[in-house]
Amino acid sequence: MLTEIILGAFCLGLLLSQAVAFFILLSRLLKGARRRPPLTPQPPTPEMLGTVSVIVPTLNEVARIDGCLRGLSQQSYEVREILIVDSNSQDGTREKVKEMAAKDPRFRLKTDYPLPPDWVGRPWALHNGFLFSSPKSDWILGIDADTQPQANLVASLVKAAIAEGYDLVSLSPQFILCYPGEWSVTAGFIDDFALSL
């Protein structure tokens, strides 16, 4: 008799936990129907000339930064400057950025100030990038070194922000996942983080 009661309580608990999980999943699926579609690439317009400063925080990113540098170099005249704010990389990241700067004068390599207490690296580098950026820029775009921006991303983003009346935009990129374990980590990561721009 006691075994049946315990088994019944266990089954009821399991059923309730599945019901909660179902409603959480359903709420997320319903939100997906209202999600904005991906940005469509759009060329810049003349009034966008030099309105954006791009900030890329780096620390030992030599293995991942090529796609980011190439993608940013493909952006058009809306990008005034591309500030690579490095936190004293030791792996050749700085040299790779210097090579790109020799080809595209919009690239500028900066070193962030020493990290103060209560700060962490990426936000500190973005803050320093903001301080280093041109006061003539209307927009600041923070982008991770392992992101691979497509041509006209910056122009499309600025156009969308202006059209919607936004002062701040946060995007979630399309992830390139190579190994099965990355799928499980990424699912939780997406819930908690979006690429801040």
Res 130: pLDDT: 94
The DSSP letter of residue 193 is -
Neighbouring C-beta atoms of residue 65, cutoff 10 Å: 23
Cβ pair 82, 56 in contact under 8 A: yes
CATH class of 46-196: alpha beta
Pull the structure tokens for residue 52.
């954006």
Show the DSSP H helices in 54-152 as ranges.
66-73, 93-103, 121-132
Query: Do the Cβ atoms of 137 and 51 come closer than 8 Å?
Result: yes
Show the tokens assigned to 160. 């969308």
The pTM score is 0.74
**Which residue numbers in the chain have pLDDT < 50?**
187-197
- Output the pLDDT for position 193: 41
Show contacts of 117-120: CB within 8 Å, 24+ apart: none
